[in-house]
């Protein structure tokens, strides 16, 4: 392998000038959007840093490509390589149908303890949106990735396990649960809450953001979602004193910490989006809000995402493999490309990230777009995925 490995030192990454970064091209439209995104990233890095910095990409296999070559959807070698290299990026993968198959997202999340699902949501001028003022949306969701009803502790109705839990609750606590009920468990821990809140607080501080909002349903689920809110406030009070300041103690400096109940928050993001900035929330709320917010600024076709732990990180397109467009060089590479922008920012290569973001935005302003935007934009020129990429590259000279 040419290049050097990224290292983790005290939970932070140490990035060499020629880092080795594994990529998973993805299934379906994956190869098209990867090819375009990789080229844009390489050109932006070269334009920004000359020969002083360069990513040494290595392909690792997952999904259909892996299955066809190795009969495994996620070879152990892939997981090991990503662990060794610390940071990676992936296109969308087909979800294999059938039992006993490991999901790549779940496996990587568990193996690398990628506990924060981070989804920035901002508007690029000209993108079709259902909002009157989509430019007011500029938020970043920090979704807890390992707990809540996603921990997979659940049993079907009438199973022996469900029945045993129902009778245990009745015998031990006098709690009555209707017969033939399914059972799911919602664990939310102080540890899990504080570490995701810390990620959100640190991001807010490092990026001079105005506020952090805890989104919860603690009015009903007092000891899970309510505790999430309380632990976030505790963390601010004891570990971020004078930096992250609860709304009722806020004077005029520092970052304000507030909380909003999830159902109200759905109105807030539509009616008063400019009042919100960094959001932190448990897993299920995060799932809903990431996609709802993405829809406000143009949909999943351009929504980037990253799963991040203490050092380890995997950036990924948030949409699926759109199989009907596979190999047509047709779809929007925006989601994967902007995930690449997140990755460059994570590496500390902000200048290259900024160049891509600005020329992406410029290309959309020129209405030189892929079919998904062209069909909703008046006077647009519909272009292929690769042509869109080439225009982004040529626009870099104007930035
Ligand atoms: P999908 O692949 O996201 O596609 C649904 C529709 O979204 C497409 O038909 C297309 O809309 C639009 N779309 C998606 N990506 C686009 C892009 N880059 N540019 C423009 N439009 C885009 O969802 P799906 O059909 O439900 O899932 C297909 C496969 O992907 C399944 O196997 C699923 O399990 C998998 N999946 C993987 C991931 C992941 O790896 N992270 C995530 C979700 C789904 P139009 O038809 O309107 O043009």
pLDDT in tens, the chain (399 residues): 789 999 999 888 999 999 999 999 999 999 999 999 999 999 999 999 999 999 999 999 999 999 999 999 999 999 999 999 999 999 999 877 765 566 777 788 888 999 999 999 999 999 989 999 999 999 999 999 999 998 889 999 999 999 999 999 999 999 999 999 999 999 999 999 999 999 999 999 999 999 999 999 999 999 999 999 999 999 999 999 999 999 999 998 899 999 999 999 999 999 999 999 999 999 999 999 999 999 999 877 899 999 999 999 999 999 999 999 999 999 999 999 999 999 999 999 999 999 999 999 999 999 999 999 999 899 999 999 999 999 999 999 988
Q: How far is CA 99 from the centre of its chain?
A: 26
In terms of C-beta density within 10 A (0-12 exposed, 13-18 middle, 19 or more buried), how is residue 332 classed?
A: buried
DSSP 8-state code for residue 113: T
Which residue, judged by its Cα, is nearest atom 38 of ligand 1? 320
Of all atoms in ligand 1, which is nearest to the CA of residue 324? 9
**Tokens for 370?**
């892929």
Please state, as a whole number, how many other Cβ atoms lie within 10 Å of the Cβ of residue 106. Answer: 13
Q: Which residues are catalytically annotated?
A: 150, 217, 263, 287
Q: Give nearest CA residue, ligand 1 atom 7.
A: 322
Measured distance CA(26)–CA(324) in Å, rounded: 15
Return the best residue to mutate from 109, 301, 321 for the ligand 1 pocket (most ligand atoms within 8 A of CB).
321
What DSSP line would sit under 235-258, residue for residue?
HHHHHSTTTEEETTT--SSSEEEE
Lining ligand 1 with CB less than 6 A are 29, 33, 92-95, 301, 316, 319-322, 331-332, 335, 372
Cα 202 to averaged position of ligand 1 atoms, centre (Å): 32
**How many A from CA of 33 to the centre of ligand 1?**
13
pTM attached to this predicted model? 0.94
Q: Whose CA is nearest to atom 30 of ligand 1?
A: 320
- Per the listing, tokens 């396990």 go with 161
Give CA–CA dist 60/181, Å, rounded: 43
């Amino acid at each position: 392998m040419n290049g050097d490995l990224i290292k983790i030192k005290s939970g932070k990454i140490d990035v060499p000038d020629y880092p080795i970064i594994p990529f998973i091209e993805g299934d379906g439209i994956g190869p098209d959007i990867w090819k375009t995104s990789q080229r844009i990233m390489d050109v932006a890095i070269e334009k920004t840093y000359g020969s002083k910095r360069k990513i040494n990409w290595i392909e690792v296999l997952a999904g259909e490509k892996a299955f066809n070559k190795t009969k495994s959807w996620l070879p152990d070698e892939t997981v090991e390589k990503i662990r060794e290299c610390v940071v990676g990026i992936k296109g969308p993968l087909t979800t294999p149908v059938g039992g006993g198959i490991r999901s790549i997202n779940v496996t990587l999340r568990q193996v690398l303890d990628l506990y924060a699902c981070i989804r920035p949501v901002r508007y690029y001028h000209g993108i079709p949106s259902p909002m009157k003022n989509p430019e007011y949306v500029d938020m970043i969701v920090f979704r807890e990735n390992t707990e809540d009803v996603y921990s997979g502790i659940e049993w079907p109705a009438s199973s022996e396990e469900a029945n045993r839990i129902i009778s245990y609750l009745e015998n031990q606590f006098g709690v009555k649960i209707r017969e033939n009920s399914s059972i799911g468990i919602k664990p939310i821990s102080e540890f899990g809450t504080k570490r995701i809140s810390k990620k959100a607080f640190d991001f807010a501080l490092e990026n001079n953001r105005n506020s952090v909002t805890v989104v919860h349903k603690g009015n009903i689920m007092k000891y899970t979602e309510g505790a999430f809110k309380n632990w976030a406030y505790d963390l601010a009070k004891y570990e971020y004193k004078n930096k992250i300041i609860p709304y009722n103690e806020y004077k005029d400096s520092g970052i304000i910490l507030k909380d909003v109940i999830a159902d109200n928050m759905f109105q807030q993001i539509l009616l008063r989006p400019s009042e919100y900035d960094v959001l932190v929330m448990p897993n299920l709320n995060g799932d809903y809000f990431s996609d709802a917010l993405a829809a406000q600024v143009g949909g999943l076709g351009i929504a980037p995402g990253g799963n991040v732990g203490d050092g380890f990180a995997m950036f990924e397109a948030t949409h699926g493999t759109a199989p009907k467009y596979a190999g047509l060089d047709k779809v929007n590479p925006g989601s994967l490309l902007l995930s690449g922008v997140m990755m460059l920012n994570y590496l500390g290569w902000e200048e290259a990230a900024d160049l891509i973001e600005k020329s992406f935005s410029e290309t959309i302003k020129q209405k030189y777009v892929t079919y998904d935007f062209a069909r909703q934009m008046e006077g647009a020129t519909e272009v292929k995925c690769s042509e869109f990429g080439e225009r982004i590259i040529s626009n870099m000279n104007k930035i």
